[in-house]
Amino acid sequence: MVIITFLDDANKRRALGYLSGRFAFKSWSNGEMMVSEDVLSHLTGEGITFNVEGPATYEHLIPAVRDPAAPAV
């Protein structure tokens, strides 16, 4: 899995429309999107421009399930 970002909102919307129903992906409000490496060639083939930020980290792969600042008991 890799993290990609888009140069503008139009490309991000096009990518979301293309990926939905075809590939698994995760998108965050900060503009990052996590996709598998084979998706990159499909996005390029559709003329969607993007930047590859690098491989997904553990924090990207595992969702946050609790608040790190747990209350005192």
Instruction: Assess contact for 48 and 67: CB atoms under 8 A.
Output: no
Q: Do the domain assignments include residue 17? A: yes
The CATH number assigned to the domain holding 56 equals: 3.30.70
Q: Do the domain assignments include residue 25? A: yes
Q: Do the domain assignments include residue 28? A: yes
Q: Do the domain assignments include residue 37? A: yes
For residue range 33-67, what is the model confidence (pLDDT) as tens digits?
Answer: 999 999 999 999 999 999 999 998 877 767 655 65
User: How much is the pLDDT for 29?
Assistant: 86
For residue range 6-31, what is the model confidence (pLDDT) as tens digits?
Answer: 999 999 999 999 999 999 999 988 88
Q: Which residue range(s) make up the domain with 53?
A: 2-61
User: How much is the pLDDT for 38?
Assistant: 94
Q: Do the domain assignments include residue 73? A: no
The confidence band for 73, taking pLDDT boundaries of 50, 70 and 90, is: confident
Q: Do the domain assignments include residue 14? A: yes
| Full strand arrangement of the beta sheet holding 33-35 | 25-27, 33-35, 2-6, 50-55
Q: Do the domain assignments include residue 70? A: no
Q: Do the domain assignments include residue 8? A: yes
Q: Residue 70: pLDDT above 70?
A: no
